[in-house]
Chain A
């Protein structure tokens, strides 16, 4: 993974940031804010993924188009019909509305993409381990089991192939199914045997003898507290702006959009937090290195 300053922060900070970013993006329909969301989300996504990120972002474009043009097919409200399909009008306002909904979708995809990169499985379980210890342990074990199963399946298939029991090129579907069933059966008994050992190993290490505690590898640092404060500040300001009606936007039947005001600034500031951290640290590193 690429080096990222925000990813190093406490998982709680990461998690709350994404709750805020994604939470706000699903309710805001104001075009200026949508545009801000797309740009900030895309920038951070690119910082996390490097050149490969462009591919994902470009692949969102056709998605955006399709969602935009589809909306007027279902939503016939709107003052300015462009043309008619049968008796149903295809309106300009509905098209705008579709673009807004598609933008929301794109923003969510971008932020969820970032979320996946930043909040890895271990951070997630670490975060919720204390709340629901047994479920979080279960999750951890599943995370380990899935790649294990894949590896063992490949091993069994390889082993069978090398004694001539693999699927030949011209096998019928029935033969393929039968062979798959055999492999699955072998995998099951193997897994069951392994789970007995795992169970022994858990009990040998005192599983179930006391109330489980949860080891937190991450600590809240001063930076984390500052970030939390800053995040809370920006979110409250943005919510305040919303309560003044700054985000109001209606598309059908007539387009009416509130004028852009200071709420946009706080919103953008909030969304830029990870980007700013990333750039700042990269920059600081660059300077300290050039001094050597």
Chain B
């Protein structure tokens, strides 16, 4: 008997008249399966997942049937559903109800009215299994995003669910925390046999381990197969989703590879060394960086900063120079001080030593209206902190009365169709672009971006990249702080490594990632034994093609 049996499910929201959010979805999910649900934003993934738990199912017109263990879902009691179907959502913060880690762990058990003895045993068990014991007594407010999400998972696992549904659980986490989290999910699946249904942008980490991948588009299931076959299918269909496939898959099909498609970096390495044992062309041209930068748009000299008098220094001598009209990326671990550097540039944090010069003029010499009116602007990490009005249009109108200008910027950011929506109704990528539009209305010459790719799928990332390129053409200098090495490798002009409160190395992306062996892109890790300086999937594909031509 299938664990979940979805029969011809069709669903539409009451507000959308004719548009079906789910259209004739039929699926069967076996016990213990690990299933990846992929698709662009708005393809109906979340809507489908929410249907699998009655209390979370949105209101709307629904046809078709969902069977859980052979019983129609509506007939399974709320209590059983709460315990047996675990659901982890996207936002780590808002899901947490209580203020202490131990209390949160027990929350579900308290709701179900378990007695002290059972609760004690379950909580202890979960704390050990998830490695929470060290921070068991802490305040939730003091946890990192990764810890919060792990806590959410643990508090659901405490109820011993049979199936675990995860809706983009790592979109708000940094890459290391994200892969930690996904490894834990995999461990649960393997060691406990819990059925896992997960949606994710970061397919690199989960795609190879999934039993099945299901691709959705426009509310329909367009593919349902093993991950290896899905890659092939999407490539043949020229589907937009192909861009989200793991690097080895993209390289393999991009260079018309033969044999079994590699899914992991390890498989990719084996495949590359078999196909190109002795490549004639093994490197790509990598420009060196000019040491002398004339008229830098931004120059930082020995910035030192700490948040409180007695706290340790966050910035410990940050120095950097950013040439005009370039896209400058700063990468580095969590809590290294990257975002603080951006705050120091816009004067939200005041460094106690060192100098910030914007277009050659020290920042203190600017008046606030002068600095933020047409010179400098920052897009914060959470785009929501910029929205203060009921519609995107009103929000943009807060910045300027000039409607022509609004229309122009809206066109650049491709949000013309979203102007009358409430900012909170938009998807992560749409919010990001609307917030960017608001920032651009100040007509900055120097644009600061704090984690612009956080929580955005690969499709929207490409859109964002296209927007950034357009801005660069207009002569705008962009400084970006990011965890997303793939994005930086592909689009940045210069990349800096931030570590221990300072900028350690700066180079062009090729030389920067090409010379790193751990902190680098999947494409580089996969190809570094045969090629050098190939840091994106496109680079590897190009080298493969050059070699093939050389062989012929």
On A, residues with C-beta under 8 Å from B are: 121-122, 137, 140-141, 143-144, 147-148, 151-152, 155-156, 158-166, 168-169, 182-183, 185-186, 189-190, 193-195, 197-198, 200-217
Contacts and interface: CB of A to CB of B under 8 A. Distances in A.
27 contacts: A122-B99, A137-B97, A140-B100, A144-B140, A148-B93, A156-B385, A159-B378, A160-B388, A161-B372, A162-B346, A162-B372, A162-B377, A162-B378, A164-B372, A168-B369, A186-B387, A193-B424, A198-B95, A201-B95, A202-B97, A203-B56, A205-B107, A205-B108, A206-B82, A206-B112, A209-B79, A215-B109
Interface in B483-527: none
Interface in B97-114: 97-100, 102-103, 106-114
B213 interface: no
- Please provide the 7 A-B residue pairs with the shortest distance between their CB atoms, ordered closest to farther: A164-B372, A206-B82, A215-B106, A162-B378, A197-B94, A205-B108, A210-B113
B266 interface: no
A175 to B, nearest CB: 13
A163 B399 contact: yes
Contacts of A121: 99
Contacts of B119: 213, 215
B442 A212 contact: no
A213 B114 contact: yes
Contacts of A198: 94-97
B64 to A, nearest CB: 22
Contacts, number: 176
A158 B159 contact: no
Nearest to A207: B111
Contacts of B140: 144
Given A201-B97, A204-B55, A168 B156 contact: no
A122 B83 contact: no
User: Contact size class for B?
Assistant: 35 or more
Interface of B: 53, 55-56, 77-79, 82-83, 86-87, 89, 91, 93-100, 102-103, 106-116, 119-120, 123, 140-141, 152, 155-156, 159, 343, 346-348, 368-369, 371-373, 376-378, 380, 382, 384-388, 398-399, 424, 438-439, 442, 448
Nearest to A197: B94
Residue among B152, B380, B439, B448 with max Cβ neighbours from chain A (10 Å):
B380
B165 to A, nearest CB: 9
Nearest to B376: A162
Counting chain A CB atoms within 10 Å of each CB, the highest count among B77, B106, B448 belongs to B106
Given A144-B96, A144-B141, A164-B368, A212 B113 contact: yes
A194 B382 CA distance: 14
A198 B110 CA distance: 16
A207 B91 CA distance: 19
Nearest to A151: B141
B378 A163 contact: yes
Nearest to B378: A162
B382 A210 contact: no
Nearest to A206: B82
A201 B96 CA distance: 8
A226 to B, nearest CB: 22
B53 to A, nearest CB: 6
Contacts of A182: 388
A209 B373 CA distance: 54
Contacts of A189: 387, 424
B82 A204 contact: yes
Given A159-B385, A197-B95, A203-B55, A215 B103 contact: yes
Given A122-B100, A155-B380, A209 B112 contact: yes
A140 B99 contact: yes
Contact of A155 (B112, B116, B382): B382
B145 to A, nearest CB: 13
A160 B368 CA distance: 12
Nearest to B142: A147
A219 to B, nearest CB: 9
Nearest to A216: B116
**Which one of B103, B120, B156, B380 has the greatest number of beta carbons of chain A within 10 Å?**
B103
B346 A161 contact: yes
B388 A183 contact: yes
